[in-house]
Amino acid sequence: MAPLPDRSTRGNGFPVRPPGKRDREDKGEPDPALEGNIASAGELEPGDRVVYPNQGVCRVLGLEQKDIAGQRLEFVKLTREEDGASVLVPLQKVATIGLRRVASADQIEGVFHYLGASYDDPELDWKVRHRDNVERLIAGGVLGVAEVVKGLHSLARLRPLPAKERELYDGSRHLLVSEVAVSLGIPATIAEDYIDYALMPPAGVKLPLKPPPKPVELKGPPWKRKKPVSEEDDLGLEDLGLDLGSLEGEEPAAENAEGAAGEGAERTETASAGEEAVATPRPARPAKPEKKAARPPVAEKERKKAPKAHPKKAAKKPAPRNAAKKPAKAKPAKPPKKASGGKRK
């Protein structure tokens, strides 16, 4: 087994300093999840302690070459401290598997403040929860592991965990305990006592908590990400006293109004005087009741013609709902306001 190449040598293809790290430092935006990540095998030396995601704390032994399927491949050989199991990581994959250094004391302190902070909003959708937890364990660093433990712990307060999640909870707790123990240099049972002291302090004890570090931002592909509850969903129409149910019935009219408003806007651009611009869009508004009045018979006809098609149409209903929101967004562009602004000028 050969020792790992010297950090200062570039000839073997190991950069002295990982480019990713340099970029982050130049931007001045350190990502807590990426702190301590191993970007290339050149950063490793025999005897280093690293954390392999989902495996725990490992010790680097060195480089090893193996002939596999007629190819000579190089591996970084690690040994898991917990049970001495050997782990071989292909040299090219060192940067992509999420290998990282054991968390520093500062990071661990942040973890405890995170664990001690109040958290009453566990993810209830099991698919989203499972996906996030798996991603956090791989790419979230020690804080990601703590998030999994805390999230599942708070969920367990609401209801018993299913078998798979119970195993995940136990596994992530094991990873967290072993990393805290290694980082602070204490026995594992005491590390677990510290963790549970933060998670469920004894009655009457107030923990000296500081603001917890920001949770890890998951960087999966966008189609995998959970849709955040955006402000678009809550337009504050209820505060204005508008009934959304009645607006849904006016969807085509709203589209028409939007089109009319758009046309009106075009006209205002072409018009020279502000007063004309005020006058042009207003005739478009009476179109609403006409369409609204015309719609129910059409819908009734469709129901009579094709009753089987209704479920599909009902399923497609959310699409026009967005269309109904568009006019609300376009409101500021309405000609009367522009015109009034023009008058003021």
Q: How far is the CB of 57 from another protein (least distance, A)?
A: 13
Applying CB under 8 A, which part among 8-16, 172-180, 270-278, 289-297 lies near another protein?
172-180
Q: How far is the CB of 209 from another protein (least distance, A)?
A: 7
Q: How far apart are CA 304 and CA 45, in angstroms?
A: 77
- DSSP letter (8 states) at residue 3: P
Q: How far is the CB of 181 from another protein (least distance, A)?
A: 8
Q: Which is nearer to another protein, 37 or 107 (CB)?
A: 107
> Which of 101, 136, 173, 338 contacts another protein by CB under 8 A?
173
* H helix and E strand count, the chain: 13, 5
Applying CB under 8 A, which part among 42-50, 87-95, 119-127, 183-191 lies near another protein?
183-191
Q: How far is the CB of 173 from another protein (least distance, A)?
A: 5
Across the beta sheet with 49-52, what order do the strands follow? 86-90, 71-80, 56-68, 49-52, 100-101
For residue 86, the cross-strand partners are: 79
Q: How far is the CB of 112 from another protein (least distance, A)?
A: 4
156 binds another protein per the rule CB under 8 A: yes
String of DSSP letters for 227-248: PP--TTT--STTTTT--HHHHH
Q: How far is CA 41 from the centre of its chain?
A: 29
198 binds another protein per the rule CB under 8 A: yes
With vertex at residue 118, the alpha carbon angle to CA 116 and CA 124, rounded to the nearest 5 degrees, is 120
Q: How far is the CB of 135 from another protein (least distance, A)?
A: 23
Q: How far apart are CA 169 and CA 150, in angstroms?
A: 9
Parallel, antiparallel or unpaired: strands 49-52 and 86-90: unpaired
174 binds another protein per the rule CB under 8 A: yes
**Token duo for residue 143:** 């804080």
Q: How far is the CB of 49 from another protein (least distance, A)?
A: 18
Q: Which is nearer to another protein, 85 or 200 (CB)?
A: 200
Q: How far is the CB of 202 from another protein (least distance, A)?
A: 4
187 binds another protein per the rule CB under 8 A: yes
192 binds another protein per the rule CB under 8 A: yes
Sign of CA dihedral 122, 127, 132, 133: positive
Evaluate whether 16 touches 42 at the Cβ level (below 8 Å). yes
With vertex at residue 138, the alpha carbon angle to CA 135 and CA 139, rounded to the nearest 5 degrees, is 80
Q: Which is nearer to another protein, 108 or 254 (CB)?
A: 108
Alpha helices, DSSP H only, in 117-158? 126-139, 141-158
Q: What string marks each residue from 100 to 139 as x (binds another protein by CB under 8 A) or -?
A: --------xx--xx--x-----------------------
Q: How far is the CB of 131 from another protein (least distance, A)?
A: 22
203 binds another protein per the rule CB under 8 A: yes
Residues 6+ apart with CB under 8 A from 308: none
The DSSP H or E segment spanning 86 is strand 86-90
Q: How far apart are CA 268 and CA 277, in angstroms?
A: 5
Q: How many Cβ atoms sit within 10 Å of the Cβ of residue 50?
A: 21
85 binds another protein per the rule CB under 8 A: no
Q: Which is nearer to another protein, 210 or 337 (CB)?
A: 210
> Which of 97, 134, 209, 218 contacts another protein by CB under 8 A?
209
Applying CB under 8 A, which part among 121-129, 169-177, 212-220, 266-274 lies near another protein?
169-177
Q: Which residues bind another protein (CB under 8 A)?
A: 108-109, 112-113, 116, 153, 156-157, 160-161, 163, 166, 169-170, 173-174, 177, 186-190, 192-194, 196-198, 200-203, 205, 207-209
